[in-house]
A and B are shown apart, each in its own frame.
Chain A
């Protein structure tokens, strides 16, 4: 990692940072460098959030055969800023019976914890804000803390529907945390590291210069990536798992009693959470900042990271436009009876796969075929098992 092996562009963000902090006394530079990293993350992901909402509305519009926002600025480019001003100027209404302090703290805590997750993601070869030994664990610790904020929002509103919706949201978040974590364990197992930059480094090679050694290109990695994406959709409350805040049937769940910019903060946290989870997905399964083929190293690593992240985010928007919302019981059944067993099977496959790392060429074929066969069998068995015996719905608590 010296000047000679790396291109200038690879170092450019760091050089810019050092140039800025060069104006300050030496004692302050360490703190200042951290501050600049924080400001950069806030600026980049803040703008990404703004334009992601615009892109989402434009793409949803395109898919539904309508133009989407097109009045503010060229192609509606200024729409997110107009929305921001609208949200800021709206009246902030707090119910009289609400728990004032918790009602205020809930959106703040939510945004704070979802911003914390950005700290450990390696954005480029030299762009790791905090390189922690247990970075993956840190990520999940921070994102698990957001659940608390959802509860606070629902309870502090002093509205029974908000509280019910918050409990429902918590049930969903806790249920899908399990497959999310279980889908990541094989990656940690394979890389032998809990540090995101270590995991990216473990995926940094190519067979014949064109086939990247990303974990998504192994049987367990592919299955794990799909499970991860589904669980990430549920964790970030995205359609088809947007039951916590199903605007067309629930008003807005635990957000009902929020207005003005506090309401916007919840959405900001949702998009931040989505970006962070997708960033982690890129890091763990898609080789992070690694280029897909050996020759494409010339393009700086952070561009690759950004491209992969945007690809996943657009996929999320596409899924939102395509799939209808699940019912609560379907959601729970899907998590506990399908995703969790499947990710456990995937973990076993990954463990056996690790044993076969040193096998000879013909045995490698057996390794691939065996892993794919076990995963496909468990997929179909679990899928079949899931779909039988649930024909007409039985209402347990409603009089028939």
Chain B
């Protein structure tokens, strides 16, 4: 039962990601990417990490998906379907080779690492323990992440607050 669920989740995750890559309609790709994020959240739930699963949905499916969709809509020249010009075969070949090389490197590292393979019962972590970890031993990392995000936010506001030159001179 557990393995069946895992197989389903893995299939959904990989299939949606692969289809997202293959589709020509970029909005469909973005939405399929969201589906794969949901599948990832399902995987977290399957593994017993409730908090991570809900945080995944809240942040990725709720917020990052909006950033992706807005970015797609704002950068697109024309509304509606957006088709990529098919590039030369050499570039596609190079991309496949580079991807295969990365996959091979990661696969080699995973297979030859000394990670324990034995299936110990997964530890159940409550939200309280997670919070205590974040506020105690991992507080420095949390603060650094907070500072980086604040810098990013301030930078975004600075960029957004300056209207383009043509606007300032043109209409008023």
Rounded to whole angstroms, the CA-CA distance of A400 and B171 in the bound complex is 8
Comparing A146-154, A208-216, A217-225, A365-373, the segment that makes contact with chain B is A146-154
Interface residues of A in 125-162 (CB under 8 A from B): 132-134, 137-138, 140-142, 144-145, 147-148, 151-152, 155, 158, 160
B50: contacting residue among A134, A170, A398, CB under 8 A: A134
For the complex formed, measure the closest distance between the CB of A194 and the CB atoms of chain B, giving whole angstroms: 5
Comparing B15-23, B63-71, B113-121, the segment that makes contact with chain A is B63-71
A330 on the interface (CB 8 Å rule)?
no
CB of A396 within 8 A of CB of B62, answer no
A397 on the interface (CB 8 Å rule)?
yes
A152: contacting residue among B31, B58, B61, B126, CB under 8 A: B31
B51: contacting residue among A134, A152, A167, CB under 8 A: A134
User: How many inter-chain residue pairs (CB < 8 Å) link A and B?
Assistant: 75
Rounded to whole angstroms, the CA-CA distance of A399 and B28 in the bound complex is 37
Smallest Cβ-Cβ distance to B58: which chain A residue? A141
For the complex formed, measure the closest distance between the CB of B152 and the CB atoms of chain A, giving whole angstroms: 16
User: Is the contact region of chain B dominated by helix, strand, or loop, or is it mixed?
Assistant: helix
A35 on the interface (CB 8 Å rule)?
no
- Residue among A160, A163, A396 having the largest count of chain B Cβ atoms under 10 Å: A396
Rounded to whole angstroms, the CA-CA distance of A220 and B57 in the bound complex is 29
- Interface size class on chain A is 20 to 34
A324 on the interface (CB 8 Å rule)?
no
Quick one: CB contact mask for B146-167 with A, threshold 8 Å, 1 for yes? 0000000000000000010001
**Set of chain B residues within 8 Å of A158, measured between Cβ atoms:** 80
CB of A194 within 8 A of CB of B163, answer no
CB of B127 within 8 A of CB of A194, answer yes
For the complex formed, measure the closest distance between the CB of B70 and the CB atoms of chain A, giving whole angstroms: 7
Quick one: CB contact mask for B45-88 with A, threshold 8 Å, 1 for yes? 00000110011011001110110011001000001100000000
Smallest Cβ-Cβ distance to B170: which chain A residue? A399
**Set of chain B residues within 8 Å of A177, measured between Cβ atoms:** 62
A192 on the interface (CB 8 Å rule)?
yes
A102 on the interface (CB 8 Å rule)?
yes
CB of A148 within 8 A of CB of B50, answer no
CB of A160 within 8 A of CB of B79, answer yes
CB of B58 within 8 A of CB of A167, answer no
A250 on the interface (CB 8 Å rule)?
no
B9 on the interface (CB 8 Å rule)?
no
Report the interface size for chain B: residues with CB under 8 A from the other chain. 28
Smallest Cβ-Cβ distance to B157: which chain A residue? A336
For the complex formed, measure the closest distance between the CB of A253 and the CB atoms of chain B, giving whole angstroms: 16
B128 on the interface (CB 8 Å rule)?
yes
A326 on the interface (CB 8 Å rule)?
no
A133: contacting residue among B31, B70, B127, B167, CB under 8 A: B127
CB of A144 within 8 A of CB of B57, answer yes
B55: contacting residue among A137, A151, A174, A398, CB under 8 A: A137
For the complex formed, measure the closest distance between the CB of A215 and the CB atoms of chain B, giving whole angstroms: 19
B10 on the interface (CB 8 Å rule)?
no
**Set of chain B residues within 8 Å of A192, measured between Cβ atoms:** 128
Rounded to whole angstroms, the CA-CA distance of A170 and B172 in the bound complex is 30
For the complex formed, measure the closest distance between the CB of B35 and the CB atoms of chain A, giving whole angstroms: 10
Interface residues of A in 172-198 (CB under 8 A from B): 174, 177, 192-194
B34 on the interface (CB 8 Å rule)?
yes
A151: contacting residue among B63, B69, B163, CB under 8 A: B69
CB of B171 within 8 A of CB of A144, answer no
Rounded to whole angstroms, the CA-CA distance of A51 and B126 in the bound complex is 40
B12 on the interface (CB 8 Å rule)?
no
Rounded to whole angstroms, the CA-CA distance of A141 and B171 in the bound complex is 43
Quick one: CB contact mask for B8-41 with A, threshold 8 Å, 1 for yes? 0000000000000000000110010010000001
14 pairs from A and B in contact (CB 8 Å cutoff):
A133-B50, A133-B126, A134-B127, A137-B58, A141-B61, A148-B61, A148-B65, A163-B79, A167-B70, A170-B66, A170-B70, A397-B167, A398-B171, A400-B171
